[in-house]
Amino acid sequence: MKAKELIALVNSGEGLTVEFKRHFSSYEKIAKEIIAFTNTKGGYILFGIDDDKSVYGVDSEKGEAELIKISAEQYCEPPVKYEIEYINVYDKEIVVLKIPESENKPHRLQDYSAKFNISTAQVFIRINDKSVPAGKEMIKIMQAKKSQLELRKYEIGKNEKIVFDYLDKNESISVKVLSEIANLSHRRASRTLIKLVRAKLLLIHTKDNGENYFSNSS
């Protein structure tokens, strides 16, 4: 990345694929941001840039890089791939952390558990300019894609028709709503909506609090 490109990136502000950090905060906080980017569309974390786009630079490029390395490799599970560039802007050194979208989702904060526990795993995704917890439905969809699980002989049944009838009159539906209107357990309602997303008949969305909701795919 050239200095001119970095300046343009800064001027565009924070968003789905860009985050500013005036300085390194803590391993866990940076790992959370790294995880959110790699679990979503990838992106950049710019160290030495404040939230208001002010350019401050970093005190030590190598020191910042070592802290990033520890965050990505020791505080993320599985470890996250990344690239680092050092770019001089207005006589200030900026550390550009480039994070690709992962093919090994979902990544989580390191919890030293041998197996992934969906009830306790801290998984994050990117929503607009924020990194937020991923809902269980989103996590399960990531897991299905990672395992390349195919839906075989998937048929539209009574519960699916209830979903589509509801969406004919409403913009979105949640697991809780489906559970109530179809008299289903929370688990079965969740499973129904997940299958519809995997079948590309619904889209899954996430609120700022991590709660999932679903809408028609067209």
pLDDT grade, residue 31 (50/70/90)? very high
Helix, strand or coil for residue 16? coil
- What pLDDT is attached to residue 42? 97
- What pLDDT is attached to residue 186? 93
State residue 180 phi and psi, 5-degree precision.
Answer: -75, -45
| pLDDT for residue 55 is more than 70 | yes
Least confident of 17-21, 121-125, 204-208: 204-208
Q: Percent of the chain, pLDDT > 70? A: 97
Domains plus CATH for the chain? 3-133 (3.30.950.30), 141-216 (1.10.10.10)
Q: Find how far residue 41's CA is from the centre of its chain.
A: 8
State residue 204 phi and psi, 5-degree precision.
Answer: -105, 140
| pLDDT for residue 152 is more than 70 | no
For 16, 33, 55, 69, 199, the CA distances from 94, given in Å and listed in that order, are 20, 18, 8, 16, 43
Given its phi and psi angles, is residue 43 left (phi above 0), alpha (psi -120 to 50 degrees) or beta? Answer: left
Average pLDDT over residues 73-100: 96
State residue 77 phi and psi, 5-degree precision.
Answer: -130, 120
Return the residue matching tokens 């910042």.
Answer: 64
- What pLDDT is attached to residue 64? 92
Q: How many residues does the chain have?
A: 218
Q: What is the mean pLDDT of the chain?
A: 92
Least confident of 1-5, 85-89, 160-164: 1-5
Question: Rounded to two decimals, what is the model's pTM?
Answer: 0.88
Dig out the tokens for 95 from the structure.
């550390």
| pLDDT for residue 181 is more than 80 | yes
pLDDT grade, residue 79 (50/70/90)? very high
